């Protein structure tokens, strides 16, 4: 169904995602409207499908970006701290920043989004893409958005704790180091390979990947829920 949501402009794409029920929250809709995908996915920016961005990576489909924001929205408030692992094109990092940084208030100015990717070319690309808009330049100059080259499986402890952690590539496990870096309360959105939990039976029943929503409650207890099946590239070792 997702590809019916494609549009001929950024506004049309986001309106179609909204009409199709893939984006429900008004704040998510506004934050996505305010970032032109053409700055991040130049080949077919308004198509609701993944697109190549070089270095063997892809920008995820717009409806997946929408889902990620919808699941995390209660943790994306002005002033929140966010970690975006596998930041790739930088698109979603920018959308998150629109949700947590309100440049018009001192409260909002405390918000920050850290984007982490393990390929230097993509870390550079994300900043380059963000500089294409005035808002993006402001977010970088004020250091409300920062990109780092690192292995995302270890998170970015220097910036912890995070109200929200988004993982943009499929993990082998619910990395404990990431859960540790969540604030209490906080939420993580992470695709995980089913093999990791089902062992050898995954081969028999097809395995697959699922989005897990991991909540750290105020008392520090951790609750995990498997929410839907997906298809992400894996979180891997950095290419040599």
- Cβ count near 215 (within 10 Å): 16
Closer residue to ligand SAH, CB minimum distance, 219 or 237: 237
Q: How far is the CB of 201 from ligand SAH (least distance, A)?
A: 26
Asked whether 112 and 139 are in contact (CB, 8 A), the reply is no
Asked whether 233 and 57 are in contact (CB, 8 A), the reply is yes
Q: How far is the CB of 5 from ligand SAH (least distance, A)?
A: 16
Crossing angle between the packed helical segments 62-72 and 91-100, to the nearest 10 degrees:
30
Q: Assess whether 60 carries a catalytic annotation.
A: yes
**C-alpha–C-alpha distance, residues 100 and 225, integer Å:** 25
- Position among 45, 88, 155, 191 found at the interface with ligand SAH (CB under 6 A): 88
Does position 125 interact with ligand SAH (CB under 6 A)? The reply is: no
Closest CA to 74 of 144, 160, 164, 155: 164
- Do you find a cis peptide bond into 82, omega within 30 degrees of 0? no
Within 201-230, the residues that bind ligand SAH by CB under 6 A are none
- Position among 17, 95, 100, 122 found at the interface with ligand SAH (CB under 6 A): 122
**C-alpha–C-alpha distance, residues 130 and 147, integer Å:** 11
Does position 96 interact with ligand SAH (CB under 6 A)? The reply is: no
Which of 8, 43, 47, 60 is catalytic? The answer is 60
Does position 151 interact with ligand SAH (CB under 6 A)? The reply is: yes
Q: Kindly list the residues in this chain that would bind ligand SAH in the complex (CB under 6 A).
A: 57-60, 85-89, 91-92, 116-119, 122, 151-153, 168-169, 233, 235-236
Catalytic residues: 60
């Amino acid at each position: 169904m997702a590809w019916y949501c494609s549009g001929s402009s950024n506004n049309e794409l986001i309106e179609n995602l909204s009409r199709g029920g893939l984006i429900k929250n008004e704040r998510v809709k506004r934050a996505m409207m305010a970032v032109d995908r053409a700055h991040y996915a130049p080949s077919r920016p308004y198509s609701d499908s993944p697109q190549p961005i070089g270095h063997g990576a892809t920008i995820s489909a717009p409806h997946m970006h929408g889902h990620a924001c919808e699941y995390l929205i209660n943790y994306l408030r002005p002033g929140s701290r966010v970690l975006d692992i596998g930041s790739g094109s930088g698109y979603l990092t920018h959308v998150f920043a629109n949700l947590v940084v309100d440049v018009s208030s001192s409260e909002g100015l405390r918000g920050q989004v850290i984007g982490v990717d393990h390929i230097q070319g993509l870390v550079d690309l994300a900043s380059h893409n963000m500089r294409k808009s005035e808002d993006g330049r402001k977010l970088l100059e004020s250091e409300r958005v920062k990109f780092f080259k690192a292995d995302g499986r270890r998170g970015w402890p220097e910036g912890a704790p995070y109200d929200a952690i988004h993982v943009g590539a499929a993990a082998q496990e619910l990395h404990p180091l990431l859960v540790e870096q969540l604030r209490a309360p906080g939420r993580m959105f992470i695709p995980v390979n089913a093999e990791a939990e089902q062992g050898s039976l995954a081969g028999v029943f097809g395995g697959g990947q699922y989005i897990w929503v991991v909540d750290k409650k105020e008392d520090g207890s951790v609750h995990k829920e498997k929410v839907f099946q997906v298809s992400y590239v894996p979180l891997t070792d950095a290419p040599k």
